[in-house]
Structure 1
Amino acid sequence: MSRRFHTTELGSIACEDLSDVGAGKEGWLVNNPNLLTALDTHSLALADRSIVLILHWSDGADPSSHRLKLVPDLSPIEAEYISAIEWLVFYDVRVLAIGTSSGFLLIYSLQGDLIHKQLVNNGNIIKLRVRGTKKDLAEDASSEEVCVVMRTTIARFDGSDIQSMLRRWFQARHSNFWDQTSNRRDPEESGTSFGRLPYQLWNVSKYGSCADAAITGIMPPPLMELQSNQRYYCAVTIGDDAVISAYRLSEDRNRSIVGAILSKVVPATFSTISSLSKMIWRSDATTKKQEAKPQPFARASPLTCLKDYPRKGEKLTLSPSGTLAAITDSLGRILLLDTQALLVVRLWKGYRDASCLFVEMLVKNNSATTRSSGYEYEKSDYCLCLAIHAPRKGIVEVWQMRTGPRLLTIPCAKGSKISQPTYRFVSSMVSSSSYVPLEVFFLNGDSGQLSVLSRSLH
């Protein structure tokens, strides 16, 4: 089967500004470990340490026709660099979130304005995950979040808190008063003008540092706390020491012994150091305000771990519901993990350097009939699949979940990567009339071509 039959070309991202993120030599998109990509339905962001290039397009428009070059304000003293990027997409608001090697979360508008800056924790942010679970009969509440993954910690920001902050910023940005003062605003104060975003922070280094991690969803409380009103989350981590680890995360900071110690020791130590520094160095009118401090840890209880030296966990991908996770390891295997039972339910071998994305495909035989009659597809019309990109084989395979067969094998050019639009936060003001399935996009770095995998197998 030809790849052209199963994909639809969207356009080319080729433009002069691509040289700023390393374009110009073969394999630039996949061979540079510092190059980060984030895809939305009509935008692509590429970041290389200190610069972000954003390409926009609409239906029928060339992706390279509308572009923005963003240079975040990073600390040269600490050699700070961009370590993670992701889109935050609400009904009427779309911004870019940036994680840095110093532990800061930055949020920028599409005009290049710094909206928010906040220290999450000291250390390198290796991943920003945006996901949500809708309210249904099995869940008593919906959960939408931005998860910040670091080597030893996980932080969770609630989507509603971020949306509320963004609305206040955009309202102020377009008010008459703001128009008169925005040009004189100090960028260092951007993270505090609209309040510090509340979040939970957990230490998940019990079984070693993380290469990747994710909060998979809400889980039941421990047996001794069945009457508790607080919410618990399940987190899955992968790394060098433990291929897979799982934790129960509590929202309660007061019960964390480590958090209690840090909440007492850190402020006292910081106060002492600050007092000594003032004695040594004369303070003047230009002295900057104190740096924000990370908050104490909440309780993270280890549930299980899988150690299998020399195997190391490399990448983790979550299904839309969070009940399945595809994990690639250093031995060329792909593990399909049931995140509720915490059991590996499927295994693939011979996929070194692979990457995985969950995708929803139309597999019904009557797809052509329903399309011609004006039928709007529902979630039940789609089947959950796993797309596996095996760059050494030069193919992308599509497997039906959980134990189904391989449905497609598509040639994938060398120097290409697969990507997926970020999760779109649900607004209470809008009700979706039709279901939007998960899609997989192909980006060929050498040719600049961007294409999307067809939803139907027929």
Structure 2
Amino acid sequence: MARRNHTTELGCIACDDLSELGAGKEGWLVNNPNLLTALDTHSIALANRSLVLILHWSEGSDPVGNRVKIVPDLSPIEAEYISAIEWLVFDDIKVLALGTSCGYLLIYSLRGDLIHKQIVSPGKILRLRVRDTKRDLTQDASSEEVCVVMSGVIARFDGSDIQNMLQRWFRERHSQFWDERESENSTDTFERLPYQLWNVSKYGSCVDAAITGLMPPPLLELQLLLLLGSQVSVIIVQSLLELML
């Protein structure tokens, strides 16, 4: 019996801006190690080392009129580049998170506004992982936590802290005083999000990781799944709360 492939068309993203990411060349979407992608329900984000293109689609929509181009302010001295990309979804708020080769976490709105910029740790951010309460791609997801993966350290951001920061930003963005505050939007005015940081370099060079869950009291430990080169290890990492007990 012949093998059947069942696929569903989600939408069309064809536009001239894709040429800046290599579209038109053979294998540009598969064989390009510098191309990063993040897919959401009705959006896709494509990024190379210095540019991000967000494309939205819905039934009958024109992708040309639903695209946003983001050019982050990266350090030319450090030869900084985009190294990770992921969607963050909190109920009705959806933003795009970027990680850079210098260890910065950047968060952008769907319009391309820089909402947040924060150094996590010196070094290249390899992955951004989000653990959601809803697993179905067709549904809106409320993120519980964000995991920032680097070669020697793992950082964990609580989703509620990010969500509260985003809600404050959007309230201010739509307030009548925004025009006066817009000039203050610099790296010096970004609030610092709290996060937990673990040094995992003793286990080897980490290439990927994910937080799999929080163990119930009295252990209060975070369980991390680390991908170390050619082997996968499950590591139990003590939380800050347990260390205080």
Q: Confirm or deny a common fold (TM above 0.5).
A: yes
- Equivalent residue number for residue 137 of structure 2: none
Q: Displacement of 1:116 after TM fit?
A: 0.5
Q: Does 1:189 align with 2:188?
A: yes
Q: Does 1:215 align with 2:211?
A: yes
- Equivalent residue number for residue 105 of structure 2: 105
- Equivalent residue number for residue 139 of structure 2: none
Q: Contact 2:11–2:57 (CA<8 Å) still a contact in 1?
A: no
In structure 2, the residue corresponding to 1:75 is in which secondary structure? Answer: coil
Q: Displacement of 1:219 after TM fit?
A: 2.4
Unmatched runs of 5 consecutive residues or more in structure 2: 135-141
- Equivalent residue number for residue 227 of structure 2: 238
Change (3 A) 1:253 1:80: farther
AA at the equivalent of 1:98? L
In structure 2, the residue corresponding to 1:234 is in which secondary structure? Answer: strand
Q: Displacement of 1:186 after TM fit?
A: 4.2
In structure 2, the residue corresponding to 1:8 is in which secondary structure? Answer: coil
AA at the equivalent of 2:57? W
Matches for 1:213-362 after TM superposition, within 5 Å: 213-219=209-215, 226=218, 231-240=220-229, 243-252=231-240, 255=243
Q: Structure 2: how far apart are the matches of 1:143 and 1:170?
A: 18
- Equivalent residue number for residue 199 of structure 1: 195
Q: Displacement of 1:248 after TM fit?
A: 1.3
- Equivalent residue number for residue 92 of structure 1: 92
Q: Displacement of 1:10 after TM fit?
A: 2.6
Once the two structures are superposed, residues 180-219 of structure 1 have per-residue CA deviations (whole angstroms, 9 ceiling, x without a partner) of 331x2343235x2xx2111100011222111111111112
Q: Contact 2:209–2:225 (CA<8 Å) still a contact in 1?
A: yes
In structure 1, the residue corresponding to 2:30 is in which secondary structure? Answer: helix
In structure 1, the residue corresponding to 2:213 is in which secondary structure? Answer: strand
Q: Structure 2: how far apart are the matches of 1:62 and 1:177?
A: 34
Q: Contact 2:131–2:211 (CA<8 Å) still a contact in 1?
A: no
Q: Displacement of 1:254 after TM fit?
A: 9.3
- Equivalent residue number for residue 54 of structure 1: 54
Q: Structure 1: how far apart are the matches of 2:203 and 2:166?
A: 37
Q: Displacement of 1:64 after TM fit?
A: 4.2
AA at the equivalent of 1:209? S
Q: Structure 1: how far apart are the matches of 2:38 and 2:194?
A: 25
- Normalized against structure 2, the TM-score is what? 0.89
Query: Greater relative contact order: 1 or 2 (C-alpha under 8 angstroms, separation 6 or more)?
Result: 1
Q: Structure 2: how far apart are the matches of 1:251 and 1:96?
A: 27
- Equivalent residue number for residue 12 of structure 1: 12
Aligned residues: 235
Q: Structure 1: how far apart are the matches of 2:104 and 2:10?
A: 34
AA at the equivalent of 2:61? A
Unmatched runs of 5 consecutive residues or more in structure 1: 135-141, 257-458
Q: Structure 1: how far apart are the matches of 2:88 and 2:172?
A: 19
In structure 2, the residue corresponding to 1:13 is in which secondary structure? Answer: coil
Q: Structure 1: how far apart are the matches of 2:63 and 2:222?
A: 39
AA at the equivalent of 2:234? A
AA at the equivalent of 1:197? L
Q: Contact 1:104–1:118 (CA<8 Å) still a contact in 2?
A: yes
Q: Structure 1: how far apart are the matches of 2:222 and 2:143?
A: 10
